[in-house]
Structure formats: structure tokens, C-alpha cells
Amino acid sequence: MRESPKKDKSLFYRWFLNNQLTVILLNIFLVFLIVFLFSKIKFVFTPINQILGITMPPVILALVLYYLINPLINVLENKFHVKRVISIAFVFIIIAALLVWGVMSLIPFVQNQIDSLVKNWPQYWDSLNKSLQDLFKDPKLHVFKDRLADANAKFSANFEKSIDHVLPQTFNNISSALSVVTNVIIILLTAPFILFFMLKDDKKFKKSVVKFVPTRLRPSAEDMLSEMSQSLSSYITGQLTVAFWVAVMFFVGYLIIGQRYALVLGIAAGILNLIPYIGSTLALIPSLVIAAFVAPAMVIKVLIVFIVEQTIETRVISPIIVGNKMQMHPVTTILVLLVSAGMFGLIGMIAGIPIFAILKIICTRIFNWFKRNSTWYDEQDIKELQEPKDNKNIEK
């Protein structure tokens, strides 16, 4: 009598070489071993980190501008049949003219408001503290008054220590300050050149990248790059457009109610709106402090402006402009923000969602490839597992 094929196999083969759990554990072990080895040779990657630190800022700035400008260039090229180079030059001239107008007219006005706000801010803060202390004079709120006084004292002490620590360093490290200014100037001068070639050779870029991919994987790689580009484009254009309209709504609302520093507060609200979920709320705090200095009625007016802005933004602007293009559940978005903010601070909060979207696309592609090439998700095996149950039901 011939033995079954399973009995012909050795125990080593069945429990080690042909065991899915063992293979998974070995792969996990290899991944951790690779990470451990890389951690021991970090000095090798130091020059790479320095190179990325120099090259990435202008590239990121150019990439953001690329996703904002490229749709307009495509319209001029495809619909109006204007040569791409001429379209790019025309758009660059318009942007340069707007920048000159902003520097000549808008920036001085904003600077005056910022200088006045910085000068008067201690007075506003003291007025707010006095109002809160008057509010807590009720014996029932005595505990809250003490806590408020302690918190204010700690904040003032920490602020004074920070100023005493920062000012000497600022004057002693003039060379580092000049270095920062120089880096900013280099970024602003380099980014337009990178942007020009991004716009000019955008169709060649994908082919240049895919050229290094094995031939049989090139169609999938092209689709993945297109999907990643579309996801980044949707997020960047959507967030910046929403931020612009948030700034406009706050500015108009503050003008209507007579709030001081309406332009500065509106611009701050638009910039902070780039931080998902909490940006507009953070922008509300200085506005409330200034309003409390003016009159209690102004605080109510500011809150009304905030409620109206949030209603229009969440019900009208965001659904129309952004929608659900990122295809992320709100809980997932919140968790991504918590992790990215905890690891990388403010930059993590701003860049966490698009980076997660790119990683999600890559992981989804890898998982789909694994499903196609693995027997774990074989539909034939599922049918075979279901057939005995169906047969039992028929027999019954």
C-alpha cells in the first residue's frame, strides 16, 4: 500500500520549509534585522540627510506651486492651443506682477497692523486677565480664580525666561541668523527654476522614473505614479483653496463687526487652516483676546463670525472643493494627525495626511500584488471549503 505524499515529507519540511506561519515569522525577523543593521551604520546616511536637507525645501515649494499652476497651463495648452513654454512664461509674468503689487501695496499695510498688534498685545492680555479675575470674584468660583492666577504666573515666568534666553542667543548668533536668511533666499531663487522644468517636462518625468522599473512592472508603476500625483494634487489644491476662502470670510466678517486688525487676523486664520481640524480654532484665540479688550459684546460678535464661517466652510466650501477625494475615514484622519503631530510637530500635522495617502497607495498596490500571487486568497480554495457545508445542508 502506497503512503500518502504528506507522510513522505520529513518533519523539517512540513514544519519549517512548507509552513506559512514559519515563513511569515522569518520575513518579519529579516525586516527587523535589516532595520537593526541600518541603525548601526547611521553615519553612512549622514551625507544623504544633509543633501536632502539642502535640496528638498525648494523642491517641495516648487511641487506645491506645480500642482497649483499646472491645471491652468494644461487648459491654455489643450483648449486654447498655446504652446506650453509660452503658457508657462505668461503665467510666470502674471505671478511676478502680483508679487510686485503685493510687496508695494499689501505688505506695508499688513506690516503696520502686525507692528501695532505686537505693540499692544501685552495690554490686551492684561485686560483679559483683569476681566477674568473680575468674573471670578464670586466666592463660589474662588478655586478657579486661584488656578487662573497660578497659570498666568507660570506663563509669565516662562515667557520672561524664554525672552531672556532667546535674546542673547539672537544677538550672539548673528551668523546663524544670516545663514537662515541666506537659505530662504536660495530657496526662493531656486524654486522658480525647478518649477519651470517641472511644468515644461511634466510628461517626461513619469517616463524617466518608470524607465528604471522592470519591464513587466512598468504599466503598474505608471498607474501608481498617476494615482499618487492625483492624490497630492487634490489635497494641495483643495487645502490651499479652502484656506484662501477661510481668510476671505474671516476678513470680511471682522470688517463687518468692526474687529481690529481684520486683515492680519484673516490671513492668520487662512494660514492656520492648513492645520486640519484645529487650525481655525487656533486662529480664533487672538481674535477673542482682542475682542475682550474692546467690549464683551465684541466677543459675542467674533464668536458669531466664527460659527458662520465654520458653517459655510464645512457645509459648502469643503464639500465642493475638497469633497472626499482623499478617501480617508475621519477616524483615520484624526489618528494620522495625532501620530504625525506627536512625532514631527507642526510640520507633521500639515504633511501627515498627504504622506499617509501616498503610503496607503503603495501598500494597497503591494497587497493587491500579493493577493494575485498568493494562494491564501485563492477563490477556488474558498469554494472547496464551502462545498462540504453545502453538501451537508443538502443531505439534511
CA distance 289 to 127: 9
Distance of CA 307 to the CA centre of its chain: 24
pLDDT at 1: 43
Structural domains counted in the chain: 1
Higher confidence at residue 276 or residue 169? Answer: 276
Is 387 among the domain residues? no
pLDDT of residue 160: 53
- Domain span at residue 62? 46-148+162-200
Residue 2, pLDDT score: 47
Please indicate whether residue 311 or residue 22 has the higher confidence score (pLDDT): 311
The answer to whether residue 89 is domain-embedded is yes
- pLDDT at res. 306: 95
Is the residue at 37 inside a domain? no
Is 215 contained in some domain?
A: no
Q: Residues 6 or more apart from 394 whose CB is under 8 A from it?
A: none
Average pLDDT score, the chain: 80
97 lies in some domain: yes
Q: pLDDT tier at 88 (50, 70, 90 boundaries)?
A: very high
Q: What percent of the chain has pLDDT over 90?
A: 25
pLDDT in tens, 349-377: 888 888 998 999 999 988 888 888 776 76
124 close to 290: Cβ distance less than 8 angstroms = yes
The CA distance from 24 to 2, in Å, is 33
For 60-87, write each residue's pLDDT tens digit: 999 999 999 999 999 999 988 899 999 9
The count of other CB atoms within 10 Å of the CB of residue 234 is 20
Residue 384: is its pLDDT beyond 70? no
Nearest-angstrom CA–CA distance, 394 and 163: 82
In terms of pLDDT, which residue wins out, 390 or 22? 22
358 assigned to some structural domain: no
Query: CA 280 to CA 243: how far, in whole Å?
Result: 10
Give a yes or no: residue 144 inside a domain. Answer: yes
82 in a structural domain:
yes
More confidently predicted of 174 and 268: 268
Residue 335's pLDDT is 86
Nearest one of 292, 248, 290 to 270, comparing CA atoms = 248
Q: Which position has the grid cell 467674533?
A: 302
Residues of the chain with pLDDT > 70, as a percent, come to: 75
Q: CA-to-CA distance for 320 and 318, rounded, in angstroms?
A: 5
